[in-house]
Every structure is written in C-alpha cells, then in structure tokens.
C-alpha cells in the first residue's frame, strides 16, 4: 500500500527553459514535506499521461493543478508553490490588489519570451541537457 501523500499542487513547467528549470530545482530542494509535485511538459510521455490538459496553454504560461483537480496559472502558481514550501512571503506582493494586474501583465510577456530572456540572463536559450537530447 502506497503511504506517500498526494501533493497539494502539481506544477506543470517547461523543462527546456533554463530559468524555469532553475526555479523548479530550487522548489524541489525546498519541497521537504512533499506538498508539491512536478511535471515537465516537455517530457516525451507528457501528453499521454495528461491527455485532458491543453498542452499549448501549459506551454504559454506556467500552470498547476490543485489536489481538487482545479487548474491555476501564471503568478498564482508561483505564489502558491512558494507558499507551500514556506517562502510565500517572497511573492505575496505580486498578488496584492495594486500590484497584481501589473505583475500579471509583466509575467505574460516574460512567459512569451522566456527563451530569449533566458539567453540574455544565462547565455542559453534552452537547457544544456535539452540541447544534448536533440537528434
């Protein structure tokens, strides 16, 4: 019998994006209580395991599934994920009523251009291990 509790939140992320992968690895290290689950939308079998989800929508911005099956996206995911590992205070201001619309607007643009921004910040458009997987 499996006694591992189900995560409170499953985060769907782009494992080809160096910045996204950096954040997920950080969250994984802090996820000592197993409140988060992680699913790379770029995994070869992702669409077979999650056929009910719109892959293109997931690729456009970060999404997560709560334990009740409801989906959230964007900075709501970021805030809740960090909150579940005890660091929600870092992102709480992005959900305050005055900042929320501005932060959401900025996030949509970041998500759309994440590979270019990753290149500017890291020198990599895609993670090195992902480049190695290319035929």
Q: What is the pLDDT of residue 109?
A: 93
- Asked if the structure places residue 97 within a domain, the reply is yes
- Asked if the structure places residue 82 within a domain, the reply is yes
- Over residues 29-56, the pLDDT tens digits come to 999 999 999 999 999 999 999 999 999 9
- Asked if the structure places residue 3 within a domain, the reply is no
- Over residues 70-123, the pLDDT tens digits come to 999 999 999 999 999 999 999 999 999 999 999 999 999 999 988 888 888 777
pTM: 0.86
Tell me how many domains the chain contains.
1
Residues in the chain: 135
For residues 59-78, average pLDDT? 96
Q: What is the pLDDT of residue 134?
A: 40
End-to-end CA distance of the chain: 40
Q: Which residues contact 6 (CB under 8 A, 6 or more apart)?
A: 37, 67
Read off the tokens for 98: 């005055």
Domain that holds residue 26: 9-133
- Asked if the structure places residue 34 within a domain, the reply is yes
> What are the distances in angstroms from CA 73 to CA 19, 80, 86, 108, 130?
17, 10, 20, 10, 24
What is the phi-psi region of residue 45: left when phi exceeds 0, alpha when psi lies from -120 to 50, beta otherwise? alpha
Helix (H, G, I), strand (E, B) or coil at 102: helix
- Asked if the structure places residue 117 within a domain, the reply is yes
- Asked if the structure places residue 4 within a domain, the reply is no
């Amino acid at each position: 019998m499996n006694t591992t509790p189900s995560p409170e939140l499953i985060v769907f992320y782009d494992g080809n994006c160096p910045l996204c992968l950096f954040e997920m690895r950080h969250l994984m290290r802090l996820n000592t209580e197993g409140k988060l689950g992680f699913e790379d939308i770029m995994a070869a079998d992702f669409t077979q395991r999650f056929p009910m989800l719109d892959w293109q929508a997931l690729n456009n911005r970060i999404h997560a599934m709560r334990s009740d099956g409801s989906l959230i996206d964007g900075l709501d995911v970021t805030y809740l994920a960090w909150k579940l590992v005890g660091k929600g205070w870092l992102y709480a201001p992005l959900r305050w009523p005055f900042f929320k619309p501005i932060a959401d607007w900025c996030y949509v643009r970041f998500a759309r251009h994440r590979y270019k921004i990753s290149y500017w910040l890291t020198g990599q458009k895609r993670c090195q291990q992902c480049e190695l997987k290319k035929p």
